[in-house]
A and B are shown apart, each in its own frame.
Chain A
Amino acid sequence: MRQVKHSEVLTVGVLVLLFAAAPFVTGDEGWLYLAALIMTWSIFALGYDISFGLTGLLSFGHAAFFGMGAYAASWAMLSAGLPFSVGIVAAIGAGGLSALVFGFVGRRVSGLYFSLMTLMLAELISIVMTTRLRHLSGGVDGLPGVPRPQAFGIDFFNAANFYWVIFALFCLTLAFCAVLKSSPLGQALRGVRQNAVRSEQVGFNVGALRLTALTLSGCLSGLAGALLASLMMYVSPQLLGWKMSGDVVIMTLLGGSGTPVGPVIGVTLVELLREGLSATTEHWYGLLGVIFILCTIYLPEGVAGLGRKLWRR
């Protein structure tokens, strides 16, 4: 089986163990919050990589799926008073549906035109949500008080307890991505990225495959958005902005797209950098830019690519 390499299984295993060990190593709420944030963004980046790394669709509009997921979950829990689990399902649905709409609108364009179209659609949603739909989105102030799960008498407002909810969904996402990648559908998506013309010629409906990939990617993005809203207990239209889309692209590329650990490593690097530097300098984002540029020149396959090279030696 060539799709699942031993090195990949090993690195994913180490990664999962590290996150599982965190609550036992530290009881510090700040560190647990950071680890939970990294897992949440990792779900987003892993979802993004279904579109980018697997299928070759460079989207600049994933913030829309992420943000709509966050809002769908918040509305379901805050306005309708539905339980957390329903909020999560609503978020997955909202993320997937937004992606389906994006994919349908962009079904005739590809390459850079597709990227720009996703950027514009996402900005459109962001602007409409901050202006016309201010009563729904809370405007620039956002909606405070997004709840966390209430079940089995466990206090999920305790950082450690909610950590395990995110950890479980993070593991499910990793498993989902691994299964997808080695499945016939995953192979077909790989084929579409490598050679869309040949894929069509051997009988694949390339348009439908691209739409499927973008929708799955949107579902995971929506899930991540809901978790972030619940983690921060707050949602705002900032989650829909282009900066979110940019961040997920940078994280995925920095870590290495097309691998199960790459996006997670990228997210970890960026979040640690933010954590370490944002307190000392407000220009930390500029430093990230420099690192990103150096990475694209010297590590085109990301940090995970560097790891692969060292592994082979």
Chain B
Amino acid sequence: MAALGSRSSSVLSCQNVSVRFGAFQAVNNVSIDLAAGQTLALIGPNGAGKTTFINAVSGRVSLAAGRIRLGDADITNVPVHRRAAAGLGRSFQIINIFDQMTVLENLRLAAQSRAFGWQPCWRPVSAWPALERRAREVAAMVGLEAELDLPVTMLSHGKQRAVELGLALIPDPKVLLLDEPLAGIGHSEIEPTMELLQQVRKGRSVLLVEHNMDVVDRIADEIVVMVGGEVLLRDRPSAIWNSAEVRRLYLGSEVAGHA
């Protein structure tokens, strides 16, 4: 049974997920499985329910119906912070970082949440070298070594994006949800960010929402097309670009380069 096989190897499994805001059905009966090591891109027009779906998976909105499993655990009713602790990292479409802290303080704080629950409170946070070590490791990974002591508000948009990604990477999550990691990034910064994403997705499963089809084509193993809160199609990138239905409903002229 193919369905059974894919479920046992999937790290994230969403079954018949629906989200409603009052009378509006934002996500309707969506089932998506994410295999270990797979990068799955979620594309579709604005209002297709992509971000709402990410919010449902990370726990920010509650489900009207459906189940979500992370590995062997059912996380449908688990609060956000426990999903995060269980290995679900996410970045936001709009930069969402600790804006009155330096880069180091941002990353160290993220490292802290996993390091201990109740800690001896008289020791200053700087007396825990493991936190700073992890913060520096991740800073090196996302290219922020030179900016460690700068307040994040002084960074360029692209560097703030790197902090955003760094915060998600600190606990080394098994599953990473990236909501438009290239949003607002300048043209010159797209290529380095692309390389960073390539590096980040190694060894983990990624669910990616992105409007830049060039990027999607280069890093996604598979693509899910969402329209009107429902899954229209799931396939390999090449098949998606050639689908007449996808082109009619979403891509239009965007895909001309690939056709």
Contact = CB atoms under 8 A, between A and B. Distances in A.
Interface of A: 1-4, 179-180, 182-188, 190-191, 194-195, 197-206
A184 B116 contact: yes
B100 A201 contact: no
B124 interface: yes
Contacts of A190: 98, 100-101, 109
A185 B121 contact: yes
Interface in B87-137: 90, 92, 96-102, 105, 108-110, 112-116, 119, 121-126, 128, 131
In the complex, which range does the number of interface residues on chain B fall in? 35 or more
Contacts of B96: 195, 197-198, 201
Given A185-B119, A185-B121, A203-B84, A195 B98 contact: yes
B167 interface: yes
B190 interface: no
B99 A194 contact: yes
Nearest to A206: B81
A180 B80 CA distance: 26
A180 B113 contact: no
A1 B126 contact: yes
B99 A195 contact: yes
A187 B109 contact: yes
B149 to A, nearest CB: 8
B109 A201 contact: no
Interface in B160-189: 167-168, 170-171
Contacts of A200: 79-81, 84
A198 B167 contact: yes
Contact of B112 (A2, A182, A187, A195): A187
B233 interface: no
A215 to B, nearest CB: 13
Given A187-B125, A202-B167, 18 more contacts: A1-B124, A1-B126, A2-B105, A182-B126, A183-B124, A184-B112, A184-B119, A184-B125, A190-B100, A194-B100, A195-B96, A197-B92, A198-B97, A201-B81, A202-B170, A204-B81, A205-B79, A206-B81
A218 to B, nearest CB: 17
B98 A194 contact: yes
B85 interface: yes
B39 interface: no
B102 A204 contact: no
A202 B84 contact: yes
A204 B98 contact: no
Contact of A3 (B58, B125, B170): B125
Contact of B113 (A179, A182, A186, A204): A204
B129 to A, nearest CB: 13
Contacts of B123: 183-184
Contacts of B114: 203
Nearest to B90: A201
A194 B124 contact: no
A253 B149 CA distance: 29
Contacts of A187: 105, 108-109, 112, 125
Nearest to B107: A202
Contacts of A2: 102, 105, 149
A27 B173 CA distance: 64
Contact of A191 (B58, B82, B98, B102): B98
A206 B113 CA distance: 11
A183 B126 CA distance: 8
A105 B15 CA distance: 35
Nearest to A180: B121
A4 B99 CA distance: 19
A205 B81 CA distance: 6
Contacts of B85: 203
Contact of B125 (A182, A194, A206): A182
A191 B152 CA distance: 14
A190 B108 CA distance: 13
Nearest to B109: A191
Contacts of B167: 198, 201-202
8 contacts: A1-B126, A183-B125, A197-B96, A198-B167, A200-B80, A201-B84, A203-B110, A204-B81
Contacts of B102: 2
A205 B85 CA distance: 10
B121 A179 contact: yes
Nearest to B170: A202
A19 to B, nearest CB: 24
B81 A3 contact: no
Nearest to B122: A179
A194 B117 CA distance: 20
A186 B120 CA distance: 12
A3 B58 CA distance: 32
B164 to A, nearest CB: 9
Contact of A201 (B58, B101, B128): B58
Interface in B26-72: 58, 60
Contacts of B98: 190-191, 194-195, 198
Nearest to B131: A184
Nearest to A197: B96
A187 B102 CA distance: 12
Contacts of A197: 60, 92, 96
